[in-house]
Amino acid sequence: MFEKAEIGIPCPKCRHKTNKTIAWIKAHHEMVCAGCGSTIGLEKKELISGLDKVDKSVAELRKTLGGFGKRR
Ligand SMILES: [Zn+2]
């Protein structure tokens, strides 16, 4: 569902953020930093906490949309 959402992955060495989609992250377990060229291991724990945030904001959005739907 969030496959197309982008997450900024910060490089631990140079702090350059690289945006990758969740679908891309699922298919890879490491990435190359565009800033310094070092290989970054993709830590699933961090990504899951990022997904939680996305999930909450979507829930908020649904509440708002639901409010509109219930108008009489
Ligand atoms: Zn870097």
Residue 72 lies in a domain: no
Q: What mean pLDDT is reported for the chain?
A: 80
**From the CA of 33, how far away is ligand 1's center (Å)?**
5
pLDDT score recorded for residue 37: 96
Name the CA dihedral angle for 68, 70, 71, 72, rounded to a multiple of 10 degrees: 160
Query: In the chain, how many domains are there?
Result: 1
Residue 21 lies in a domain: yes
**From the CA of 10, how far away is ligand 1's center (Å)?**
8
**From the CA of 54, how far away is ligand 1's center (Å)?**
25
**From the CA of 65, how far away is ligand 1's center (Å)?**
40
DSSP line for 6-41:
EEEEE-TTT--EEEEEHHHHHH-SEEE-TTT--EEE
Q: What is the mean pLDDT of residues 8-32?
A: 90
Residue 70 lies in a domain: no
> Which residues face 13 on adjacent strands?
none
Q: Which domain range does residue 23 map to?
A: 6-65
Tell me which DSSP letter residue 65 carries.
H
- The pLDDT tens digits of the residues spanning 3-18 come to 899 988 889 899 999 9
pLDDT score recorded for residue 14: 95
Q: What is the mean pLDDT of residues 7-30?
A: 90
pLDDT score recorded for residue 48: 56
Residue 71 lies in a domain: no
Residue 42 lies in a domain: yes
Cβ burial of 9 (10 Å; 0-12, 13-18, 19+) is buried
**From the CA of 36, how far away is ligand 1's center (Å)?**
4
Residue 50 lies in a domain: yes
